Amino acid sequence: MQLEGRQQLKQQQAQQRVSLPTRGVRRVRSRQMQNVQAYVTSAAQSSFLGSSTWSSIVSRQISNVQHSSSMLPLRRPTRMCGIIGIYKQEGAVNVELYEGLLMLQHRGQDSAGMVTTDWAKFREYKNNGLVKDVFSSKGVMDKLTGPVGIGHVRYPTAGSASAQEAQPFFVNSPLGIYLIHNGNLTNTEDLREMLNSSSSFFNRHLKTDSDSEVLLNIFADEIHRAHQRFVQTDSKG
């Protein structure tokens, strides 16, 4: 009798797995497609992307996705930031960074930011919002000059939704370092405590609750330590 009861229970569980809540699946798929369509519309209307060829290509791709979406297995929505870096021999990278962040918009909608450099000065802009809204001003884009740059769109998995936690993050010492980061640290609080204690090369004070800022300061702290070891070794030699 116990064996029969177990078999019946397994059959019921199998039936429950087969009869998935299709209405919920449809709602998720529909919501995902709406987000993609909204992104494509905003990107196509952008003053920085005037190419009708680009717009028509992406529109065809979206149409193909819509046609085949019912045949695809349901996937969890992407919950991770988008990062991009561009280096050019000559010419500004601001427009390419902007286009790249638009293409990465599905990976994060909380905030967007970029920093460029001409090797003499950093130029940074970041804020909460979608890429098209954060960089809607031509004046902002014109200031982001230089042949090298990095950009970031944020999906908040740690910290808060404050505009202060928009990336890139910056530390002035050593050298002046910008960081963009995708992922989560598993020992953030331990590292934060170390940075705020005498265990750190410098007692570093953080501005945000972001684990990315912790990572940047750990990196900067280790560079200081490596430089100190080099100086000590060189003086002995």
Helix axes 211-236, 188-195, angle to 10 degrees: 50
Alpha-carbon distances, residue 54 vs 34, 44, 95, 119, 211 (angstroms): 20, 8, 15, 32, 37
Lowest-confidence region among 42-56, 76-90, 209-223: 42-56
The CA-atom distances, in angstroms, between 144 and each of 27, 99, 103, 124 are 40, 14, 19, 7
Which pTM does this prediction carry?
0.66
Residue 110 DSSP label: S
Confidence of residue 234 (pLDDT cuts 50, 70, 90): confident
Q: 3-class DSSP state for residue 62? A: helix
- pLDDT tens digit sequence for 112-154: 999 999 999 999 999 999 999 999 999 999 999 999 999 999 9
Q: Strands, E, within the chain: which ranges?
A: 82-87, 111-117, 122-128, 148-154, 169-171, 177-179
Residues whose CB is less than 8 angstroms from the CB of residue 94 and which lie 6 or more positions away in sequence, other chains included: 114, 116, 141, 144, 145, 149
Q: Categorize the per-residue pLDDT at 59 as very low, low, confident or very high, splitting at 50, 70 and 90.
A: low
86 flagged as catalytic: no
Give the range with max mean pLDDT: 145-149, 156-160, 169-173: 145-149
Cα 199 from Cα 193, distance rounded (Å): 9
State pLDDT tens for residues 14-28: 555 444 444 444 444
- Distance between the two ends of the chain, CA-based, in angstroms? 83
Confidence check: pLDDT of 83 > 80: yes
Tokens of 12: 């019921």
Catalytic residue among 39, 43, 49, 81, which?
A: 81
